[in-house]
Structure 1
Amino acid sequence: MAKGKGRQKPASRSRPVIVFDPCNPYGSGPNKNGWHADFVTDDWEAFKKLFWSSRECLAVLDEFADVCEADQKQARMIMRRGRHQGHDIIVISQDWMGIEKQARGQVNQLFCFRQRDKYAAIEQDWIDAAGISDAVQRIDRFHYFDIARGREPKRGVVPHKKHW
């Protein structure tokens, strides 16, 4: 970690990271609730203001299905037009179908972890096209499939503390 102006940020990162985490109980600011980010907030209005006023950030939106339910229009705009700000966007959700349909259509890569039958069936357009619907239900904890349109799925493992 590199220090600068009273806050810490990862030394190797070359672009700002902004995070909307509705489950963050620690208020707004850098490096909150386990996120190594320049700005983390649970305040949707503050996140939107920063998102639209900044450029070339990595924007992470946790519990994105809930965001879509609460503010469908803005969620769709972020997914459709965020790239015009130069942002890369990561959305996190356990409810694929809860993500607004047009926002889902903007997704170009999916990291799929172990799933119950109902979710594997719901994500049929991604998973069955990749031919891995059965495998998704049987993969080990911390393992995933990296699925992108137009290429074979890749299998991976998330580094976990017990392996460090």
Structure 2
Amino acid sequence: MSRFFGEPIGTFDDMVAAFRRVVEGDGIAIDDLCHVEEETLHYAQTDDETYYFRCFYDGIALAYLVDESVEIRTETPTKESIAIQASPEGAIDVTPSDAVMSFGVATETDVRGDDTPAAEDVYGAVCPYVKAFDTREEYASWAEDVAARTVGIPLESGVPIAAALTATNPSEVAE
């Protein structure tokens, strides 16, 4: 990640700060999410609309952007279903309850270390490596074979990161 962003990335706070610099300090907006026109394996439902995304994590971010609970569905790389209920207050209910997720960035990219990546560069290098998994073992098996540096965390631990990415003022986000 450090090479991609051109600065040291040692913590999730560093990663959030680097993403926010790419979007010029503003929080990610609904239009910035990785929407897909056709149906995908990763979708989120609000009371009024169904959104289809390139990765499930956009659905978690969506809960903060629409200020209502969002029902998220995704499939693991091994085709297992995961259901997530996320609220704008940060509450999350995940089935299965021990699901994990990955964050990662491609090891090979066209962005040079001294260039600031554009939002599209970030999405292209990061989104393919943000996945949900039934178990930590499933994550570890997947991570062995991808061309990315990744970290696996409990899925519910990714919620505060979504809050930080969407906040218009980073100080709004509770630790």
TM-score normalised by the shorter chain: which range applies?
under 0.3
Larger radius of gyration: 1
Higher RCO, 1 or 2 (CA under 8 Å, sep at least 6)?
2
**TM-score, with length taken from structure 2:** 0.26
**TM-score, with length taken from structure 1:** 0.27
